[in-house]
Amino acid sequence: MDDLAAVAPLAGGGFIVDVGDFNGPLDLLLSLIRDEKIDIYDIPIARVCEQFLVRMRDLALNEAAEYLEMAARLLRIKAHMLLPRHDGQDNWDDPRAELVRRLLEYQQMREVVDVLERLGEDRRNRFARSYSPELAPPPQAPLALSLAELLLAVDRVLRAARKPTLHEVISRSLDVDGAIITVRAVLALRAMARWRDVIRPDPEPWEVLSCLLALLELAKRNELRLAQLKPFADVEIRREFAGEAA
């Protein structure tokens, strides 16, 4: 471990940790269990909880929501453990069970990470040919298309379209899905948009509401970010996640 983010040895533990080494609260918890040589199936929850809080403080992780959530979870389990148990009761639900399951699952995944790391490193040390000759393979398998196919498709469309289109008249409700499609389409074209790009001029109230709900929903899904630089300024809609493009 380097000394970049290292902290001084702790009074109780006597070890040095590095924030950069942890990939989350489960990772931190697992390293704690390893360092303290704790049996994962019988975690002394009070001690572990205390250690976890100490490490959080020393690593300045107090602000990180996921660590706070884990701390709360540990405190809750600790409280459950203190509830009186009746002697001879076989079907006691160990309040640690869920945590143990998650830790084991996480540990298993870390093992896979070790395997991947080894395999990936091995492959990284070999070069494939990078020169692309004139006959570079097509990015996609070539298409087999014929005009006849296209025309048959036109025919199908025409036949289907000849059926009379019946419109069902319903009272206007919100169309959030439609607004989501619109916003995605706009953001597929440009990384940043403004309110007036995603809504038509003189919108009806239901359109404004639909669009607003769509923006909030997409922001929640991390597809975009909303920002207003100053009060009453234009709201900026920024694309966040390329994978979600229209």
Scan residues 176-195 and list those touching other proteins (CB under 8 A).
178-179, 181-183, 185-186, 188-189
- Closest contact distance (angstroms) between CB of 227 and other proteins is 18
**Distance (Å, rounded) from C-alpha 68 to C-alpha 181?**
36
Amino acid at position 69, single letter: E
B/e letters for 163-174, b = 16+ CB within 10 Å, e = fewer, are eeeeeeeeeeeb
Mark residues 65-94: x for contact with other proteins by CB under 8 A, - for none: -x---x------------------------
Shortest reach from residue 112's CB to other proteins, in Å = 4
Q: Which stretch binds other proteins (CB under 8 A): 6-14, 44-52, 148-156, 227-235?
A: 148-156
83 vs 161, beta carbon nearer other proteins: 161
156 is a site residue for other proteins (CB under 8 A): yes
Residue type, 9: P
Provide the 3-class DSSP secondary structure of residue 130.
coil
**Segment interacting with other proteins, rule: CB under 8 A, options 43-51, 80-88, 174-182, 231-239:** 174-182
Q: How far is CA 197 from the centre of its chain?
A: 28
Query: Using the rule CB under 8 A, is 241 a contact of other proteins?
Result: yes
- Residue listed under structure tokens 């704790």: 38
200: amino acid identity, one letter: R
Cβ proximity of 182 and 198 under 8 Å: yes
Identify residues 7-36 at the interface with other proteins (CB under 8 A): 23-27
Contacts of 69 by beta carbon, 8 Å cutoff, 6+ apart? 25
Three-state secondary structure string covering 12-58: CCCCCCEHHHCCCHHHHHHHHHHHCCCCCCCCCHHHHHHHHHHHHHH
Cα separation, 172 vs 149, whole angstroms: 40
For residues 195-214, which are near other proteins according to CB under 8 A?
Answer: 197-200, 203, 207, 211
Contact between 1 and 7 (Cβ < 8 Å):
no
Stretch that binds other proteins, among 6-14, 81-89, 151-159, 231-239 (CB under 8 A): 151-159
Q: Which of 1, 57, 221, 228: binder of other proteins (CB under 8 A)?
A: 221
Check binding of 234 to other proteins (CB under 8 A).
Answer: no
Question: Which of 89, 130, 171, 173 lies at the binding interface for other proteins (CB under 8 A)?
Answer: 130
Name residues contacting other proteins, limited to 90-129 (CB under 8 A).
Answer: 101-102, 104-113, 115-117, 119-129
For other proteins, which residue of 14, 84, 88, 138 counts as binding (CB under 8 A)?
138
The residue written with tokens 């990470």 in the block is 113
